[in-house]
């Protein structure tokens, strides 16, 4: 496999007789913001869990950040960041303690953790919240903290699984500003979302239906080929097929 940040060929996952992900092919370039769309149950989260090395594929193969999925798991973990739908934060820890904990999980030295925390707090707009319990934070702040935990070890590829669910439009806009900044620095962003307006922010978008990728193109390309007015219309047309 070549120099793509994420590359999958025939990636499949079955649970008994049920096929959750059905032979998907993907090639995502370094620094790309790649939208991974689909209705609930389409297989998006299962695919991401395979690409992160959290779930073994039934068949097919993939590499992420140059590491074959299913092998060299520790090395893969050091090169990727993952932000789940429910923000895997410890509510009874402070903002700083959450960041320090995840730094330890990623094997960073104390000195490196301190330097990264000092850099990330103002970058994420969390300066001044270091000693607040995470449970007391507004949802938009928790979202940015979860992103910080995923970025702490400076990964090459970041997987964001519905990261903006439930937050207000202003917090969503701020979050996407951070995504753009990371992509401009060369980090590959692989993001799922239910907000079709956010699909417009992606360089390319794939749409999954029942475990298969039924379309993959730029937002403009998808609108041109489907005749959709916007990404909401594109999505509905492809899913209704």
Yes or no: say if 212 and 24 are a contact pair by the CB < 8 Å rule. yes
Domains of the chain: 6-89+140-240 (3.40.50.300)
- Give dist(CA 158, CA 162) in Å, integer: 13
Q: What backbone phi and psi angles, to 5 degrees, belong to 33?
A: -100, 110
* Predicted model pTM: 0.92
- Give dist(CA 76, CA 145) in Å, integer: 22
pLDDT in the model for residue 2: 52
- For residue 1, name the pLDDT band (cuts at 50, 70, 90): very low
- For residue 84, name the pLDDT band (cuts at 50, 70, 90): confident
pLDDT tens-digit series, residues 177-215 = 999 999 999 999 999 988 888 999 999 999 999 999 999
36/170: higher pLDDT? 36
Average pLDDT for the chain: 93
């Amino acid at each position: 496999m070549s120099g793509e940040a994420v590359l999958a060929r025939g990636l499949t996952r079955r649970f008994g007789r049920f096929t959750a992900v059905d032979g998907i092919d993907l090639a995502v370039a370094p620094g790309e913001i790649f939208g991974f769309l689909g209705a609930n149950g389409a297989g998006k989260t299962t695919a991401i869990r395979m690409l992160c090395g959290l779930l073994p594929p039934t068949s097919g193969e993939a590499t992420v950040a140059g590491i074959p999925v299913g092998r060299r798991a520790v090395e893969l973990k050091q090169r990727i960041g993952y932000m789940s739908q429910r923000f895997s934060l410890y509510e009874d820890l402070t903002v700083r303690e959450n960041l320090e904990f995840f730094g330890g999980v990623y094997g960073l030295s104390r000195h490196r953790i301190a330097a990264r925390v000092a850099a990330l707090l103002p970058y994420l707009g969390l300066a001044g919240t270091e000693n607040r319990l995470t449970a007391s934070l507004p949802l938009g702040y928790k979202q940015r903290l979860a992103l910080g935990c995923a970025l702490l070890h400076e990964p090459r590829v970041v997987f964001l699984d519905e990261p903006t669910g439930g937050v207000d439009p202003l917090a969503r806009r701020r979050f996407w500003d951070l995504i753009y900044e990371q992509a401009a620095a060369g980090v590959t962003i692989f993001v799922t979302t239910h907000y079709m307006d956010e699909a417009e922010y992606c360089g390319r978008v794939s749409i999954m239906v029942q475990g298969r990728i039924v379309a993959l193109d730029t937002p403009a390309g998808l609108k041109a080929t489907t005749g959709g007015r916007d990404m909401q219309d594109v999505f509905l047309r492809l899913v209704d097929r």
